Structure formats: structure tokens, C-alpha cells
Amino acid sequence: MTDQPAGLRPPPDPSRRPAPASRLVRALYSHNPFYVISADLVFIGLRMSFDPSAKAFDTWALISGLASSTLLLAVTACLLVRYGKVWDDMRSVLLLVVMMFLAISSTIDDVLILRPTVGAALAAGGLAFAIVVSEGLLRGMRLWLPALYRGPYYLILALFFLYPVALRPLLARPDSPTSHWALFGFSTAAGLAFLTLLPAIRRGGAYVKGNGSPWRWPLYPWSLFVFLGLGVVGRSYYLCISLHNVEGYRSIFGPYFLVPFGFAIALLLLEAGLTSGRAGVVRFALAMPAGLLALSLVGHRWDAVYQNFLTMFRDGLGVAPPAATLIAATAFYGLAASRGVAGARGLAMASLLGLSVIAPGMTDLSGLVYPNGWPLLAIAMVQGRLAFRRKESWRATIAAACLVAATADLPAGYLSADQAASAAFRLAIVAMLVLGAAFDDELGLTLRSVGAVLLAADALGVMAGEPHLRSGLPAALVPAYPALLAAAAVGYGLLVGGWPFFAASGVILAGLMVAFGARGYLDLRQHFAGLDRVALGLASFLLAALISLGKAGFLRRWTRGGHISGEVGAAAADPGP
């Protein structure tokens, strides 16, 4: 019988593993989801039993039932924490209390439509009830919520209860632009309310240290505001249903309604990441505008109610939701860049690049357009300034490329399409030559070589009569244009250096010789009918003479003589030992 090796555990005994039923009981005991189940069932049951739009009795019964359920949860939380120290279960109870506040505020919407005075009184009473219960919870649980968190919390609760009351006078005309904009504005108002958390974020985790609970920052108190943020999403949608009196469940709401609130959350996350030094939070904040752009591109419907406000949005702001989102994203990344966030400047340039291909009135990706000049011009200015300061050729190349692309769009009202294209082509050549002269690195040398090739191509194209290239030149300049380019290539080669420009000049001059020779040949051909045969005969004679010289060995001797003379020159240069 062998002994068990030291340091090794025996394999687990399958017979001792807990049964699946036992594991389920343990999971239910540990996480205790029954508070959530209870609150949901009570809310659904009360909502099914009482219709707040029907009778006053139903209204008061529904709200009283919700308030009683909220009080039951709050008293339970206070007793279990004070006497039982059951903090884990009470975290979900606190969030459920907040959920009940939001449910009460949504229930009052129905009353506000039919009985405005009663609805306003209920909203004020509901807010007072939420404040009293919240303060009772904090004091009963001996939980400390600092003022810089408590103020925004009550401000957000006030927005849930009182914003519909402020909207009520506008809803007499549900199709008026004012009421539509007011419904859209809830997301923006919620975003502004959440931004009041910035001072608390800058205090960091030490601001809530010793809060009276075992919950650490950011779990406490940020889980509370995450829950309120989810409530903003649902409230934005439900307001457009409950307070917009149209037939059925049609509404003006679209996913882009949440974009302003999303940018406020991105700002909070950016500040939280910078304050805490957590790079992952900063990266998530920088990625949020991409998700908000997706929100602005999806969910568009063709029903008349929805399209009415979408048209109103586009006409009022001058841009559709995608373009407006990209403008906001550019501003957000510019702010992040001013705070020294790595990569923010590049993302701002990417937003401008996206703005250049998304038309102002476009609502989805099927309407992409040729790059607009103004965003590209902004990119060129920013990258050009950075290239000048940092002496970076790749930034200068990006700036030049954007500038060239902008020239094809900005003068569209003054130049034809062919003229704009030829101007952009020649400006690209000039940009390559300038950058090649300014930078001596590998990219600068590559730009010089490409510029030389394009310079020769431009001259040969004009000589060949290419209409797009000729359309951008005055008629009087066309005959002399290739010679001017050949002279420019020689001058650039002498000043900056580089054999490609002498080669380009030679190609241009050879093209001119061929062009003039061909023109002279055609003129002679009109006077001598057999000129083609004479020319072919002379060509045949030259070929025959070369063959004869080869047979006589002259070509071999010339080749060998050049080789021998090269060897003699090399031997003379090397004196030996």
C-alpha cells in the first residue's frame, strides 16, 4: 500500500458534493432576491387593481399602496441594520426604495393629465414623502451621505416629480413645438442635474470614508446614482407616452433623446477616472461617444408622430441627431485633450472626420456624402500646428491631405467639378514637394519621389490632351506648361537634391521632343506621300547595320573594350602592396 505524497490533496469525494437543490437554497439564502420579487409583485398587483385615470378612489388607493410598500421596505431596512447588522440584504432594499419613489412619480403622470390641480399636489406630496423617507432611512440606519451627494440626490428626485408638473401647461397643445422640445429636454435636464455630482467626484473616495456601513467607495454611494441613471432612461421614454396625448402608444421618443444625458455621464466618468487614476474608467468614458453616435443612428421610425419631431429637430438645430452627436463628441474630446488625456486629440480628429462624411440632415449611414471641407480644414489647422511645434512629418502629411481634400469641396460654388479635381491634384503635388523639402526623414524622401513621379505625370497628361488636367489651366498657359514643369523639376532637384527630379525633367523633355517630332512628321507627311515607307526603310537599314556590326564583332569588341578600360582604371586606382 503506497502512502499519499506529501503536499498533495486527496481527490474530492463525489459523494460529499452538495446536491443541486442544496446549492440553489444556499444561493437564494446568500443573495436573497425575495425583496425584489416582493416589490415587483406588489407594484404589478396594485397597478392592475387600480387605474389612476379612472376614479379618485383608485388614484389614492394606488398611491397609498405604493407608499405603504415603500414604508414597509424602509422600516425593514432600519430594523435589520440597527439590530441585526444585515448589510448585504439591505443594499438591495435601499435601491428598491428608490425604485418605489420612481414608480410613484410615474403613477402621478396619469392624474396630472386629467386632474392637473390634484396631480400637482400629488407630485409635491410625493417629493416630500421621498425626502422624508430618505432622511428617515439615513438616520435610522446611521448611514452618512455627505452634502455633495445628498444635494444632487434630492435634485434628481425633484426632477422626477416636478418636471411633469412644469410641462403640464404646455400639453394643452400636444402637437406644438414647445411641448415637443420640453419632452425632449428631460434628458438634458437630467444630465445637468447629474453634473452637480462633479464636486463630489473630485473629493474622491476619502469623502465618504467612515460612512457608517461596510460598503466601500465607489459601491457606496455610486450604486444609488447608477440606479437613478437607469430611471432617467425609463422616465425619458415614459414621459413621451404619458404626457403626450396622441392616439395609441405612438410617441416622439427616439434613442437619440438619451444622447445629452449620455454625454453628462461620460463627463462624470472622465472626471472619476482622472481623479482616481483609473485608466480603464478613462478609456470607457472616451469610448462612450461612439455608443451615443450609434444611439443617434438607430431606432428611427416612419410614423407621422415620430417624424414630425425629427423634422422639427433638424430644422431647429440645423443638423440631424448624428451630426449633432458628432459635434458634441468633438467638444467632449477637446475638453478631454485640454485635461491632458492621452488619445483624446486623435479622437477629436476622428469625430471631425466623421462629421465631414455625415451630411447635416442625415439620419442613418445610407446617406454618407463626399467629405465636407470645413471639418477637414479644422483637422488640417490642428495637425499643421502640432506638426510645426513638434517637427513631425506624419502630422504634417495628415494636415496636407486634409487640406487637399478640403479644396475639392470648399470652392464648389466657384469651380466646376473638373477644375476642383485638377486643383486638388496639383495642390497635392505642391504639398508633397513642400513636405519633402521640409523633412529629411524616410517619409519626407518618399514624398519627394512620389512628387517627382506626379510632376512628370501632370506634364505628360497635359501634353496628351487629358481634359481633366487641362480644364484647370488657362488656355494660354497650356502650350508652355510642360516646359515650366520641367524647369521647376530641375530647380527643385538643384535646391533640395534628388535624382528623381532630374529624371522627371528628362522624361518631360523627352515627351516634348516626341510631341514636336510627331507634329513635324505629320506636317512633312502631308507633302511627301511616301514618308511612312521612307521612315520604315531607314529604320530597317539601322536594324540591318546593327546586325552586321554584331556579326563583324564590333559590338563585342566595343563591349569588351569598355569592360577592359574599366578594369584598367580600377587597377590604376589600386597601387597594390
Residue 441 located in a structural domain: yes
Q: How far is CA 175 from CA 230, 235, 308, in A?
A: 28, 20, 9
Residue 468 or 389, more confident: 389
Q: Which is nearest to 422 in space by CA: 488, 490, 478, 380?
A: 478
Please tell me the predicted confidence (pLDDT) of residue 567: 46
Residues 520 and 548 in one domain: no
pLDDT of residue 409 exceeding 60, the answer is: yes
Tell me: the pLDDT tens digits for 331-341? Answer: 999 999 999 99
Same domain, 507 and 539: no
445 and 505 both lie in a single domain: yes
Sign of CA dihedral 154, 156, 158, 161: negative
Contact 488, 480 (CB under 8 A): no
Among 4-13, 169-178, 366-375, top mean pLDDT goes to 169-178
DSSP secondary structure code for residue 497 in this structure? -
Asked whether residue 288 is assigned to any structural domain, the reply reads no
Q: Are residues 553 and 480 in the same domain?
A: no
Name the pTM for this structure: 0.73
Would residue 430 count as lying in a domain? yes
Residue 433: give the domain boundaries.
417-527
Confidence of residue 531 (pLDDT cuts 50, 70, 90): low
pLDDT digits (tens, 9 = 90+) for 169-225: 887 777 788 889 999 999 999 999 999 999 999 998 888 888 888 878 888 889 889
Residues 555 and 515 in one domain: no
Between 262 and 23, the more confident residue is 262
Cell 514637394 found at: 433
**97 part of a folded domain:** no
Number of structural domains in the chain: 2
Q: How confident is the model at residue 12 (pLDDT cuts 50, 70, 90)?
A: low
pLDDT of residue 40: 53
Say yes or no to pLDDT of 565 above 50.
no
252: left (phi over 0), alpha (psi -120 to 50) or beta: alpha
522 and 484 in a common domain = yes
The answer to whether residues 493 and 541 belong to one domain is no
> Does 515 share its domain with 547?
no
Q: Is residue 153 part of a domain?
A: no
- Give the pLDDT score at 102: 87
Looking at per-residue confidence, does 165 or 536 come out higher? 165
Confidence band for 287, pLDDT divided at 50, 70 and 90: very high
Residues 512 and 444 in one domain: yes
Please provide the average confidence, as pLDDT, over all residues in the chain: 80
pLDDT at 418 > cutoff 80: no
Q: Is residue 518 one of the residues assigned to a domain?
A: yes
Helix axes 499-527, 531-552, angle to 10 degrees: 130
- CA quadruple 378, 384, 389, 391: dihedral sign: positive
pLDDT of residue 550: 73
Q: Does a structural domain hold residue 397? A: no
Let me know if residue 158 belongs to a domain: no
Mean pLDDT of 10-29: 52
